[in-house]
Structure 1
Amino acid sequence: MRRYIDISRLLKQYSRIGLLLFCFFLVHAIQAQVQKEREVVSSGGSEAQNSSLKVSYTVGEPVVTTVQSANTILTQGFEQFLDSSSLISFDVSVQDATCAGKRDGRGFISNINGCQGPYTVNWSAGFNPADTFSTVGLLAGDYSVQVVSSDGCSSQPVTFTIGLIDPNPCLLKFYSGITPNNDGINDSWFIENVELVPDNEVRIFNRLGNLVWEGSNYDNNNTFWDGNNLSGNDLPADTYFYMFESDDGIEKGWIELTR
């Protein structure tokens, strides 16, 4: 008796076996994949070890990081973004303005850390400070400052506020004595806040009412009275009388000259 082999049936059986083998290997491959949660293992460069994982990296540059455990190797390319503005820190201190309209507020920079010095300090536009780490002559108000390092790092602009010691407008204050002996103390007559009234006329009189000295645009620096007369000669120690004239009116008083 002859036996016949059903070829089509046999092919179907082998196809089923192949499909089962394919599914088996696919499931095994899926089970071998392990997904790790994001985890910071170190904040510096070079290498870091955490449990059975070893990570090699360089901060601030595009890198390829290889993570290796007992049976799994994963290579992942990624780029680390480095915000240089977070690398520079510094302190800002202020000296408030004396009164409204007075330009005697100050800002100071100290304790700069991060990146590579020397540092450049950029104050708000329009400033021309005497040195890079402080600025003077500020009215009350808000200002900003930024620090830049020699290797290209720059901080975020930091806002600081100059307040007012006295919120009232500044008033002229006329000092009542001078001692012109070249000791650097009261060698000339000082008028506080005179820079707020730059357009002025000052006249000095003796006891007899005679004019002994006068000047325009008195400012304590370029135009000032140091106890001399109009000819530049020393006046004797005595009580003298001043008249200060500006658009706001006339101020009068006395000055004691001591030698």
Structure 2
Amino acid sequence: MYLLEFLSPKRSIVTATFITVFLTYATINQAFGQTVPSATLNFESQSVHHSSAPQTFTVRGSNLSEAVTVSTNPPFSLSKDSVNYTPSLTFTVEELVSNQTVYVKFKPTVIGTYADSVVNISTGADNKIVALSGTAVESTNMLEGNKLDANNIITPNGDGRNDTWVIKNIDQYPNNTVKVFDHSRSVIYSKQGYTNDWNGTYNDAPLPQGTYYYVVDFGPGSGLVFRGFITVVRD
């Protein structure tokens, strides 16, 4: 007989700055048509591109003649030692003479809600499911040192001061896309991988003095957007 036994998990708690989405889920045991998992691990409010604290369950078995493999899918992963994580683990018959702890972590790359499960693959073992659920929220890693700080005025007159629009720390997000819009929401400037070089022009011609709207997208899967206004001042 092969069992997955739930242990008291250490719940991962991360402060969500902008978005909190609550997850509902249903896990189906395809082998027996059951809808009730043997245990559930919930991960709450995990920032994208960051790993949660691990939670655990126990693998145990008796009278097994072959190894047992437990597996899941990203953004969940498994580990025997809480150091090296992978989508699947295999336990030998010898290992399962004693209970084995499986560590589970949640590392999302896109904002949203997730539902998955840990299942076993083994000959002669009962199929047991550990349901997994997680909530991915906007990254909270924009702290001092890598937070964007955009200059809101440029004076492109060639005097070497404020001639171009500078966004501090933009170099730390190389997959960024910057767009600037006029009052009618038409795109007047767009660049992928902005390098602080826009000087208030459109099609190489100087734009009229005025205030424009900008959006900085941090890159695919980041879930981060930075918005604001930039004013072009001409003497």
Q: Which TM class, normalised by the smaller chain length?
A: 0.3 to 0.5
TM-score normalized by the length of structure 1:
0.33
**Structure with the larger helix share:** 1
Q: Which is greater in Rg? A: 1
